[in-house]
Every structure is written in C-alpha cells, then in structure tokens.
Structure 1
Amino acid sequence: MSAGEVAGLVAAGAFLMLVLVLAVPILRLRHTVDAATRAITDLNEGTAPLLDNAKVTIENVNTALGQVHTTIDGVNLQLVKLDTMTGHIQSVTANVANLTTVVAAAASNPLVKVAAFGYGVRKAAAARRHADEDREVRATLKQRRKDARVSRRAGR
C-alpha cells in the first residue's frame, strides 16, 4: 500500500464520517418537514369549514344591516315627530315665561312698596332709639359736669 492509497482510504473514511455526521440532522429535518406537512394539511382541512361559516356569518351580517337600516328609518321618523313636539313645547315655554314676567311685574310692584315701607319704618324706629339713647347719654354727661362744677365750687 502506497502513501496515495492510505491517503485515499483516510479521505474515504473522513468522507464517510462527514456523511454520518450530516445524516443525523438530515433525518431530523425530515421529521420536521413531515410535521410541517401534517400541520398544513390540518390547516387546509380546518379552513374550509371556517370559510363556509364566514360566508354564513357575512349573510347574517347583511341581514342584520338591513334590519338596522329599517330601524334607523323608524327612528328618524320618530325624531321628526319629536322635533315638532319640541318646537311646540318651546313655544309654550316662551308663553309661560312671558306670563311669569307679567305676573311678577304686577305682583312685585306692591310688594316692593310694602318692603320699602317696612324698611323705612325699621330705619326710623332704629334712628329714634339711637336719638333717645344719645339724649340720655348727653343728659347724663351734662349732669356729671354740672355736679363736678358744683362740687368744685363747694370745695373752695
């Protein structure tokens, strides 16, 4: 055996080792590809009923939208009636406000006079009380001064 044959055997052994080392990940990759293929198949089988359900759901939604449009039309009719009623109520409210203003003006004028008279009487009574008190205080002070003068003259 020559050196070239030994080198060829070593190279063949190294190549065999490389093939064996690469065979393990390739076999594992095969299992992964099989699992992915099964998942895609399951997904395809599960998607068909979902799409059928989606078609039914879309038809139901369209039916519901038709009912919603009908309901909205009815609500719009009721809103028109409500708008008319609101206009009438606004007119009545304006009339009541005007009537209230007239009644308040008619009733408040005599009430204002009575209130003003009562206020004037209270002020006059208070002023009279203060005047009486002031008069008493002045008389007392005048008497004290007079008594003080008399006592000073008597003490001389």
Structure 2
Amino acid sequence: MSAGQIAALIAAGAFVLLVVLLAIPLIKLGRTLDEATIAIRKAHENTDPLLIGANDTITHVNTQLERVDGITANAQAVSGNVSALSSVFTATLGSPLVKTAAFSYGVSKAIRARRKAKTGAEGRHTRRGGKATS
C-alpha cells in the first residue's frame, strides 16, 4: 500500500464519519417534522367541533339580542307614554294644585299671625318683631 492509498482511505473514513454525524440531526429533524404534522392534523380535527360550538353560541347570542331589542323598544314606548301622561297631569291638575297649596299656605300663615297677635294683645309685652316676652 502506498502513501496515496492510505491517504485516500483516511479521507474516505473521514467522509463516512462526517456523513454519519450529519445524518443523526437530519433523522431527529425528520421525527420532529412528523410530530409537528401529527399535531397540526389533530388541531385541524379538533377545530371543527370548536367552530360549530362557536357558531351555535353566536346564533344564541343573536337571538337574545333580538329579545333585548324588543324589550328596549317596549321600554321606550312606556317611557313616551309616561311622559305624555305626566304632561297631561301637569296641564290639567298641576296649576289648580299649586294654587290650592299656595292658598292653604297663605291661610295657615294668616292664622298663625292672628294667634300671635291675639296672644300679644292679652297683656304680654311684645318686642319689635312680634316675639312676646314674659
């Protein structure tokens, strides 16, 4: 065996060693890609029931929102009716009630003033301002 053949055998052995060392990470990368493919496939299979459930939930929410819209419309109608009723009440009974209240307040004030004046005229000395002193 000549020196060239020995060098060729060493170079061939180094090349085989290099190929083996590079093959190990490539095999691991292939396994990782297989696992990723399986995980993606499972995720895809599990998304169908999830999307169907989300669709059912959205349909239910839309039904409830339609009910809330009806309730809101009815509440608005009731509010308008109450406003109209309060306007009618104010127009028909408000003014006479205010006048009656003012009249009764004036009468009670006059009665109190008369009583104070009567008690002051019975012999008690009064100061300026109408307060009786003993």
- Scaled to the shorter chain, the TM-score interval is 0.5 to 0.7
Any idea what the Cα deviations from partners look like across 1:72-126, whole Å, max 9, x if unmatched?
2222222222222333455556654443222222221342354477687365856
2:108 matches 1:121: no
Any idea what the Cα deviations from partners look like across 1:38-97, whole Å, max 9, x if unmatched?
111111111112222233333333333332222222222222222223334555566544
Higher relative contact order (CA 8 A, sep 6+): 2
Q: Which runs of 5+ in 1 are unaligned?
A: 127-156
Q: What residue in structure 1 maps to residue 31 of structure 2?
A: 31
Q: What residue in structure 1 maps to residue 69 of structure 2?
A: 69
Q: Which whole-Å CA distance do the structure 2 matches of 1:93 and 1:6 have between them?
A: 123
Q: Which whole-Å CA distance do the structure 1 matches of 2:2 and 2:113 have between them?
A: 140
Q: Which whole-Å CA distance do the structure 2 matches of 1:125 and 1:67 have between them?
A: 73
Pairwise CA RMSD:
3.0
Q: Which whole-Å CA distance do the structure 1 matches of 2:106 and 2:83 have between them?
A: 33
Distance 1:93 1:5, change over 3 A: farther
Q: What residue in structure 2 maps to residue 56 of structure 1?
A: 56
**Percent identity of equivalent pairs:** 30
